[in-house]
Structure 1
């Protein structure tokens, strides 16, 4: 790990990106890392683009600044690639994890490794919805945790238990399925 390891979560309001960042931070702390989960949004409504960030380190983290580009970019809604410059949100040589069952148009060869997980299908299979919106965050937590190389599945499950109180079994299963189903799908 360099000085810090940064994760950018990009999704839409209501998809659970902020909660995903909290769970990843909890898992990192349980492994002895210092960790921040930083939400970044204004008065947007459900469905508007929302960012959340993780900063992980072996040493005390002093910077509370927004993460400009992550070592990992977790793209909860691939349609955002059509309206935002996602290329700038992942460091060269970093990792892009996309909520998709296949490579997404416009995301090919961004100078990073690309992984796909059909988090939408997992959320729908498990009935994880709020106000009709599938909660894709938990499968993405599993996928990001696995491709980051920092976590064991059990770390993520324990952090999920600490943060989630509603539909816990379905959420734990979603993390497991995201971990299991993520696969390399791009350059």
Structure 2
């Protein structure tokens, strides 16, 4: 099994952190993992991408992911300037921060699932930081890692217990929501 994920967002939104958190959680469950970003002249607010590979065998590939199984979109505005579905496998899925699943599917014309991560992040964190929502959404939809493993990883990741607690709540909310949709893909 080799699962390849490409994430899109903007600099400063936690695109890299989201891939790293998933990599750590998957590693804790016995998988081999590799996560890495693309950096050029990117700066805060410009489009960035990160990549995640998860496998039951050692990972030797070190190049960017050109044909992902999943694409995770943290900021819906990047879809206006980047073809996020470029190279997506025929049975691939887009998981996007978007207010309307119907409009998302119309726009992308691929198998896509939406969660309004911005709204949830503002409600729970007071800021539109969507990375932990999208981590929970991805994990819940794919079943790649257990919710408890993900929650433990977040508690270890965030040193501030209050911030960790809020992010754990967000991850659980997104995980449970997407877990319900797993069979509808």
TM-score scaled by length of structure 1: 0.87
**2:36 is matched with which residue?**
38
Q: What do the CA deviations read for 1:38-69 (whole angstroms, capped 9, x no partner)?
A: 11122322110010110011111111111113
CA distance in 2, matches of 1:52, 1:67: 9
| Stretch moving more, 33-42 or 109-118 | 109-118
**1:168 is matched with which residue?**
164
**1:154 is matched with which residue?**
148
**1:50 is matched with which residue?**
48
| Stretch moving more, 174-183 or 22-31 | 174-183
- CA pair 82-173 structure 1, distance change in 2 beyond 3 A: same
Matched, 1:72 2:64: no
Structure 1 stretches lacking a partner, 5+ long: none
More strand by share: 1
SS of 2:118's equivalent in the other structure is: helix
| Stretch moving more, 105-114 or 171-180 | 105-114
C-alpha root-mean-square deviation of aligned residues, in Å? 2.1
| Stretch moving more, 120-129 or 136-145 | 120-129
Structure 2 stretches lacking a partner, 5+ long: none
Q: Are the aligned partners of 1:53 and 1:67 in contact in 2 as well (CA < 8 Å)?
A: yes
Dislocated runs of 4+, deviation >2 Å: 103-113, 180-184
CA distance in 1, matches of 2:124, 2:104: 29
Residue of structure 2 aligned with 1:98, choices 96, 99, 103:
96
